[in-house]
Amino acid sequence: MTITTTSKVWLITACSSGFGREMTLAALARGDKVIATARDPKKLTELAARGATTMALDVTSSDEALKRVIAEAVNVYGRIDVLVNNAGYILQGAVEECSTKEIFDQFNTNVFGALAVLRAVLPHMRARRSGVIANMGSIGGWDGHVNAGLYCSSKFALAALSISLKGELEHLGIEVTCIEPGYFRTNFLSSGHRNKAANEIQDYVDATAPVAKGLDAYNKNQPGDPVKGAKVIVEALSGDYGKKLPARLALGSDAVKFIDGIIEKSRTTLEEWAPLVKNTDCEDV
């Protein structure tokens, strides 16, 4: 299929709802081409009707299976300009409550899946010396939270991987960023996207129950508009703002405020402890 040299080709994971859906629509509105994926492509009927190419893609598939899917995706338009690793969910539970399988599944989707997809896409981008990779992180990647320690740690990991990749790929003309949204009014806090650990330990209830109750109350009342957020993401990844993409890109007024608070808190703690901990060098330094 022939496309213009100015339009971009996007591959976005987890497009059946939320940011995946809205990013697909925002990119299509620009005249770009989008390969929208989901584990069940039947859930992408609306996006197909709006002009997206839809494909089945499960980020937890084997490397071999993902390479075949990405090769098929590249063949559609001849290239992939922008990859957005959007698949993810929240595992709710105190750290001790979460089973080994639940922990693995959390990281398998949020971290290992993103890694597997980008590793399948990167050979094609390297060959062209061009591309953008965006991993969908979270403000949870800046601070641990009660009842969501595994989710937060997965987003910490994704941020660190994005920063490392940025340094490795910059000289090859490939940009990398970790987009870190605050709370947007999607279905991310609903059942199916927020999965509760099967084991509940009574000793933790006093700490975890208020958090769960707060998230329930916040569901569908989040401040962020996903349509506006998706538009900013697409414009940023397209280079519309004339700014070099940062390694970590906050999204939402609450995200900016939250991250600023974490940075300030970290600086205060660092300065408090610095006189005690910095005098540990060898005598010959």
Q: From CA 71, how far away is CA 84, in angstroms rounded? A: 16
Confidence at residue 123, expressed as pLDDT on a 0 to 100 scale: 98
φ and ψ of 221, to 5 deg: -120, 15
Instruction: Report the percentage of the chain scoring pLDDT > 70.
Output: 98
Q: From CA 273, how far away is CA 285, in angstroms rounded? A: 21
| pLDDT top residue among 192 and 215 | 215
Q: Give 166's contacts (C-beta < 8 A, 6+ positions apart).
A: 175, 176, 177, 247
Element (H, E) at 251: strand 248-251
CB of 80 closer than 8 Å to CB of 124: yes
Confidence at residue 97, expressed as pLDDT on a 0 to 100 scale: 98
The string of pLDDT tens digits covering residues 67-105 is 999 999 999 999 999 999 999 999 999 999 999 999 999
CATH numbers and ranges of domains, the chain: 9-277 (3.40.50.720)
The string of pLDDT tens digits covering residues 106-134 is 999 999 999 999 999 999 999 999 999 99
Task: Label the pairing between strands 9-12 and 82-85.
Answer: parallel
Q: What is the mean pLDDT of the chain?
A: 96
Confidence at residue 175, expressed as pLDDT on a 0 to 100 scale: 98
The string of pLDDT tens digits covering residues 216-260 is 998 999 999 999 999 999 999 999 999 999 999 999 999 999 999
Nearest in space to 162 (alpha carbons), one of 118, 107, 126, 104: 118
CB of 125 closer than 8 Å to CB of 174: yes
| pLDDT top residue among 33 and 1 | 33
Which of the residues are catalytic? 151
Confidence of residue 2 (pLDDT cuts 50, 70, 90): very low
As a whole number, mean pLDDT of residues 21-44 equals 98
CB of 16 closer than 8 Å to CB of 186: no
**Helix segments in 15-62, DSSP class H:** 18-29, 45-49
Confidence at residue 4, expressed as pLDDT on a 0 to 100 scale: 47
Confidence at residue 192, expressed as pLDDT on a 0 to 100 scale: 83
Confidence at residue 3, expressed as pLDDT on a 0 to 100 scale: 47
CB of 71 closer than 8 Å to CB of 53: no
Confidence of residue 191 (pLDDT cuts 50, 70, 90): confident
Please determine, for residue 1, whether its predicted confidence score (pLDDT) is greater than 80.
no
Residue 51, Ramachandran bin (φ over 0: left; ψ between -120 and 50: alpha; else beta)? left
Provide the token pair at 204.
């933790």
CB of 237 closer than 8 Å to CB of 134: yes
Nearest in space to 94 (alpha carbons), one of 138, 145, 142, 139: 145
Q: Which string of b and e fits 82-95 if b means at least 16 CB within 10 Å?
A: bbbbbbbbbbbbbe
